[in-house]
Structure 1
Amino acid sequence: MQLVEPRPPRPLPIRITPLIDVVFILLVFFMLTSHLLPTGFLELDSRVPEGDASGGTTRPELQLNASGQLRWQQQEWQLPALIQQLQRQGSDDINLGTAAETPLTDFTRTLSTLESAGISVHWRREPAPEQRREQ
């Protein structure tokens, strides 16, 4: 005969530390085994109009250098004048190349100005000089 009732069993708390350890080990494993693709060429718009696959027309090639200057057809251009010239020629699709050292602010300003003028932009980043030597 028991005079004292036994205490109800308390649920054991779940220890979170081993779970966190397992998550971090999985994170490190996937970080080490994943392969990141090179981003030397990033096409911002992949839509191709019909009939353009034959390569009948070429896109104008613009270059944005590290100082923020636009270069097209072997001469420097101011952005408003360049947009007017492209619109006169009927070019609504261009390739924009940037140097590896081009500031992000200059790139985004140029890209947004061209896009707001109705010009579709495809972007290609030139590799840094030390990356060019390795390839």
Structure 2
Amino acid sequence: MEIWVNPECSKCQSALTMLNAGGADYTIRYYLEQPPTAEELTDVLVRLGLEPWEITRFGEPVAQNLGLASWPRNEDSRPRWIKALTENPTLIQRPIITADDGTATVARSPEAIRAIMPAPGERDR
């Protein structure tokens, strides 16, 4: 399991606390320091079942500077969105957890975190 975090984010801190309390085995990725590549982000989007604009933080100053709110949201525009997110990782919603079973979630709620954590018996395997 890998979790993409910004250490200054309260949602990220809460997710880490829950993962620790649940005994989850995970790796932390400080995605602002180690941004995902276009390939990695594309893979995560597939795992999430989401489009890049669905994980974009539109309130960030860079989003406003780029005019993201007015960008088309269609298949042809996906590469443009992915490029913007990889070049400006502050635009990516956080935390994102990718599980070993191929699933992923934007872990902004306790329910989302619990849903992706392995069951107690699975941790011991």
Bucket of the pairwise TM-score, normalised by the shorter protein: under 0.3
TM-score where L is the length of structure 2: 0.24
**Greater RCO structure (CA 8 Å; 6+ sep):** 2
Higher-strand-fraction structure: 1
Which has the higher Rg, Structure 1 or Structure 2? 1
TM-score w.r.t. length of structure 1: 0.23
